[in-house]
Amino acid sequence: MAPSPFQAEFRVLTGLDWVPLPFLEGLEAEAADMYPRHPPVTCCSFQGGFFIDVGGQPFSADGSVDEF
């Protein structure tokens, strides 16, 4: 039996949206300036993580990011 297709994409939290890292290319300064304007990060606040998909089914989503 062949293994299920697996995909993992690293995303960072920008405001309310999880954005794939390639989307921020060329916007690194703006992204870095954004973080100090947010409330301090707590033990339960993820700023980046892996969104994992196995066999076409999401393993993680906005509320269950697999943190790095």
> Is the Cβ–Cβ distance between 64 and 11 less than 8 Å?
no
Lowest pLDDT segment from 1-5, 8-12, 52-56: 1-5
More confident residue, 58 or 43: 58
Q: 65: pLDDT confidence band, cut at 50, 70 and 90?
A: confident
User: Model pTM greater than 0.75?
Assistant: no
DSSP 5-61: PEEEEEEEEETTEEEEGGGGTT-HHHHHHHGGGSPPP-TT--SEEEEEEETTEES--
3-state secondary structure of 1: coil
